[in-house]
Amino acid sequence: MGQTAPHVCGYLTERFSDDAFGSFAGYREAGGYETARHALNRMTPEEVIAVVKSSGLQGRGGASFPAGLKWSFMPTDDEGPSYLVCNADESEPGSFKDRLLMERGPHQLLEGLLIAAWAVGAETTFLYVRGEYAEAASVLARAIGEARAKGVLGPRALGSDFGHDVVLVRGAGAYICGEETGLLESLEGKKGQPRRKPPYPAQRGAFGRPTTVNNVETFCHVPHILKNGADWFRGIGTEQSPGTLLFGVSGHVVRPGLYELPLGTRLDEILFEYAGGVPGGRRVKGVIPGGISTPILPAGLLDVRMANEFLRERHTLLGTGGIMVMDETTCMVRVGCIASGFFRDESCGQCTQCREGTGWLDQLLHRLERGDGSDGDLALLGDVADKMEGGTICSFADAAAWPVQGLLRHFGDEFAGHVSARGCPLDQSFAL
């Protein structure tokens, strides 16, 4: 079912091409679950959190929030149940790493979940898998069954006094359920409309109880950090952004696919040296660095290290590490149309500036693409995008505005060219 081995592997993916890695027996044979056994039997939750905090692990779901800090927000004096939630609702266009992490390494994920659950004191993990990811869900269901049968999960997980179970939950097709409070609503059987914060999930999360939510890849790093230590982890990547990231490279490149590389690897190195550059001898025109929400970089700004502290200087973000490459034939107005069409369809509709704004962006971009746009439309496009930012319940409206702002910042002349030429001057561009 597709190509699953990354082109470049690191500690997360080095055994992806080995089928045994996906089975309980194969995972155990290579020492799997020993780190969790040690954590659950020999470490206090506070000690686990301290290691994760000092490792500097940041969330890999797009927001890069420090994971250990998030875990420390969970109340320690609460009597009732609390929960861990694994956000496996990967749906950021350009991102496909979590699917492969689940399909090829389900026990690596479960071990990370178990350690995190112990650290935050969660009696149950809800593993919320994107509805379309049928293969990942079936692999995980089998892995959870094996883990229960072997006493890894259950009333005495790995021989400890800690009882834990993982409940597999499937989504049903909605991008917004990747937003952590949208996900919690969906988990409760409702529309996935994000909640107002505060209260944050650690105070009031799933079913009204304290909850920690992290992304699939974030959990997968945890066993490696516990096993090798925070200093080992800090030795990889940059000072502010340690560890590897599973970069997904797509679009106009010779070798699209997954690349597990240290954070801080240069974007032009990933594009030209690892992914083989642009096919057909054509030149690169722009690169979206971290999934469709992150603002585009033009060809002249690709000499940047892939970590937020460097990308921010160029008005963009790491996001989920989904790198989308566009060659010189690409019409950037069409790129905008695809982004805006997506966000219009996926807006949950509860905030006005998002519900209306995504529709306006989409209409204006399509009008420009058809050659019916005016200078006034172009000005309005920027104005609408700017007014959508920062005023909504969740960051979806920002995510819809950023790609448009990035396109206008770097390719404003091309947009104006669509007005003056009354149509698209790029006759070799991909079809809309």
Binding residues for another protein (CB under 8 A): 1-3, 81, 90-96, 98-99, 124, 130-135, 167, 169-175, 186-192, 206-207, 209, 248-252, 256-258, 288, 292, 322, 324-326, 330, 335, 338-339, 342, 345-346, 348, 430-432
User: For residues 302 and 348, which CB has a smaller minimum distance to another protein in the complex?
Assistant: 348
Residue 67 CB-density burial (10 A; 0-12 exposed, 13-18 middle, 19+ buried): buried
Q: Minimum distance between the CB of residue 346 and another protein, rounded to whole angstroms?
A: 7
Q: Minimum distance between the CB of residue 165 and another protein, rounded to whole angstroms?
A: 9
User: For residues 76 and 138, which CB has a smaller minimum distance to another protein in the complex?
Assistant: 138
User: For residues 40 and 326, which CB has a smaller minimum distance to another protein in the complex?
Assistant: 326
User: For residues 326 and 384, which CB has a smaller minimum distance to another protein in the complex?
Assistant: 326
Q: Minimum distance between the CB of residue 399 and another protein, rounded to whole angstroms?
A: 13
Three-state secondary structure readout of the chain:
CCCCCCCECCCCCCCCCCHHHHCHHHHHHCCCCHHHHHHHHHCCHHHHHHHHHHHCCECCCCCCCEHHHHHHCCCCCCCCCCEEEEEECCCCCCCCHHHHHHHHCHHHHHHHHHHHHHHHCCCEEEEEECCCCHHHHHHHHHHHHHHHHCCCCECCHHHCCCCEEEEEEECCCCHHHHCHHHHHHHHCCCCCCCCCCCCCCCCCCHHHCCEEEEEHHHHHHHHHHHHHCHHHHHCCECCCCECEEEEEEEECCCCCEEEEEECCCEHHHHHHHHCCCCHHHCCEEEEECCCCCCCCEEHHHCCCECCHHHHHHHCCCCCCCEEEEEECCCCHHHHHHHHHHHHHHHCCCCCHHHHHHHHHHHHHHHHHHHCCCCHHHHHHHHHHHHHHCCCCCCCHHHHHHHHHHHHHHHHHHHHHHHHHCCCCCCCCCCCC
User: For residues 224 and 252, which CB has a smaller minimum distance to another protein in the complex?
Assistant: 252
Q: Minimum distance between the CB of residue 35 and another protein, rounded to whole angstroms?
A: 28
Q: Minimum distance between the CB of residue 315 and another protein, rounded to whole angstroms?
A: 19
Q: Minimum distance between the CB of residue 41 and another protein, rounded to whole angstroms?
A: 28
User: For residues 7 and 53, which CB has a smaller minimum distance to another protein in the complex?
Assistant: 7
User: For residues 230 and 335, which CB has a smaller minimum distance to another protein in the complex?
Assistant: 335
Angle between helices 106-120 and 134-149 (to 10 degrees): 60
Q: Minimum distance between the CB of residue 326 and another protein, rounded to whole angstroms?
A: 6
Q: Minimum distance between the CB of residue 285 and another protein, rounded to whole angstroms?
A: 11
Q: Minimum distance between the CB of residue 210 and another protein, rounded to whole angstroms?
A: 13
User: For residues 249 and 378, which CB has a smaller minimum distance to another protein in the complex?
Assistant: 249
User: For residues 211 and 392, which CB has a smaller minimum distance to another protein in the complex?
Assistant: 211
